[in-house]
Amino acid sequence: MRSIALALPVMAGLIVACQNADPKDPEGFAVLPEGFDDVEIGRVLHLSPLPAHATDPTNRWSDDEGAARFGQLLFFDERLSKGEQHSCATCHLPDHGFADAHTVSEGVARLERHVPTLLNIAHHRWFFWDGRADSLWSQACAVIEAPLEMAGTRLGTAHLIASDDRLRERYEAMFGPLPSLQDTERFPLVGRPVPKDDPAYGDDGSHGKPGASGQEHHTHAAGNTFFHPHERNWNAMTDADRAAVNDVFANVGKALAAYQHRLVAIDSPFDRFVRGLRSGDAEDLAALSPSAQRGLHLFVGEANCFLCHSGPLLSDREFHDLRLPPGDGPVDDLGRQRGLEKVVADPFNGRGAWSDDVVAGSEMLDYLPQHHHANFEFKTPSLRNVALSPPYMHQGQFATLRDVVDFYSELEGARTSPPSVETVVVPLRLDEEQKQDLVAFLESLTGTLPAKTWRTPFQAESNE
């Protein structure tokens, strides 16, 4: 007890909690697996509990119940996508840890990366595997228009809300009146900006070349160029009308974010165990099997997992290159390097016109390194609830947790060229029992799912 208090002198609340446990009580710390030293126990205590997440200052609706319920309607609504076959829940399946079982996912087209879980997502600071979004709401806006995912458009989204009484009434009650969308001369039924590197230019097989599939040429002073039909519609609108549609689109993103803020899954056997460490409660301490306790010991000790899977999210919320073998996605996915470029250029980022707090929103972006350094880096996933959502890694490279642990042990198939800038990951050479122990620990991180009313499509009748 004494040494734990010394190891964590700043965590005053914790020390008080520790004092509640009788140091002489054999049921208290006596059940710790052998070998944990004070420093390691200190590391364990840093991993739990997961506190309530901070509100997002750039989204003033982020903790609003009405916005969350509106966002829930949208989350399960396939009409947001081109062809009306994909809702968010098509890929983020509530029964699969809000992820899916594919290696790389299938949307309107085949995607390049694996679907991450949305459980406890509000705790992250960057979104997507490459962190190209700096908020949950800008992430949602991006995915609705992503050509391979939902291939929707912001004009289409605004028209959907205007045309559906249930959506329109809820929207207007919260965000105020919609623009005069019934005037389709001013507000075409579909349209969005289409950047020149957008895969949509190639979605008809034309690979962005003008002239294919009847797309019109458009000549202007700079020479011969062509506009995607969605872009033509968008460009034909007045600045004020475009801004009004962007307002609706940002609000849709903010409501989807408010919904995802509800997707909390905590109180795992591991959390109960750590609670037991603090209180000495024998039942809580018994929540973790001896094997999982040995796995935890490896995690915070010899195997060094805690270096990146740190803090109560079990993620440092940053990006690393594990030199993973190729999966079903492209071999030249540069990850964070591209994400860095995209996040600063995103008009819906935290310092943009649709942010509710540009000062707070700028803080994260102003200090981003812009030099070329982050090739092949991907976001450290949270390991909470990890057993619920196989396969693993950004291209679903590994089917099971055991496969993941095998990789960290042997680094078999690891990329050698180009070399990684990091050397944190070295082969651990674990034996069979150690591998089983680590897997047992990872399996102990499954928490209690959010209430069913948040995991299923919103039913106004039964929920309200």
Which chain residues interact with ligand HEC by CB under 6 A? 86, 88, 90-92, 105, 107, 111, 113, 115-116, 118, 121, 124, 127-130, 136, 139-140, 143-144, 149-150, 256, 303-305, 307-309, 320, 322, 324, 378, 380-381, 383, 386, 392-394, 401, 404-405, 408, 424-425, 438, 442
Q: Residue 186 Cβ, how far from ligand HEC at the closest point, in Å?
A: 26
**What 8-state DSSP symbol labels residue 419?**
P
Q: Residue 16 Cβ, how far from ligand HEC at the closest point, in Å?
A: 32
Q: Residue 107 Cβ, how far from ligand HEC at the closest point, in Å?
A: 3
Closest to ligand HEC by CB, 287 vs 438, is: 438
* Chain mean position to CA 65: 21
Closest to ligand HEC by CB, 270 vs 408, is: 408
With both helix axes pointing from N to C terminus, report the angle between 269-279 and 12-20 in degrees, rounded to the nearest 10.
80
Helix (H, G, I), strand (E, B) or coil at 110: strand
Q: Residue 370 Cβ, how far from ligand HEC at the closest point, in Å?
A: 20
Q: Residue 278 Cβ, how far from ligand HEC at the closest point, in Å?
A: 24
Q: Residue 401 Cβ, how far from ligand HEC at the closest point, in Å?
A: 6
* Tokens found for residue 203: 């979605």
Closest to ligand HEC by CB, 73 vs 404, is: 404
Q: Residue 220 Cβ, how far from ligand HEC at the closest point, in Å?
A: 33
Q: Residue 451 Cβ, how far from ligand HEC at the closest point, in Å?
A: 19
Helix (H, G, I), strand (E, B) or coil at 458: coil
Of 135, 143, 168, 157, residue with least CA distance to 90: 143
Give backbone dihedrals phi and psi of 366, rounded to 5 degrees, phi first: -65, -25
* Buried/exposed code over 194-204 (b: 16+ C-beta within 10 A; e: otherwise): beeebebbebe
Q: Residue 441 Cβ, how far from ligand HEC at the closest point, in Å?
A: 8
Closest to ligand HEC by CB, 247 vs 281, is: 247
Closest to ligand HEC by CB, 18 vs 151, is: 151
Closest to ligand HEC by CB, 224 vs 423, is: 423
- The dihedral through the CA atoms of 390, 396, 401, 403 has a sign that is positive
Closest to ligand HEC by CB, 64 vs 284, is: 64
- The dihedral through the CA atoms of 171, 172, 176, 180 has a sign that is positive
Closest to ligand HEC by CB, 175 vs 306, is: 306
Angle at the Cα of 325 from the Cα atoms of 321 and 331, rounded to 5 degrees: 85
Residues forming a β-bridge with 217: 226
Closest to ligand HEC by CB, 87 vs 355, is: 87
Contacts with 12 (C-beta within 8 Å, 6 or more apart), sequence order: none
Q: Does an H or E element contain 335, and which?
A: none
Side-chain half-sphere of 305: how many Cα atoms within 13 Å?
24
Q: How far apart are CA 322 and CA 34, in angstroms?
A: 30
Residues forming a β-bridge with 225: 218
If one counts every other C-beta atom within 10 angstroms of the C-beta of residue 275, the result is: 17
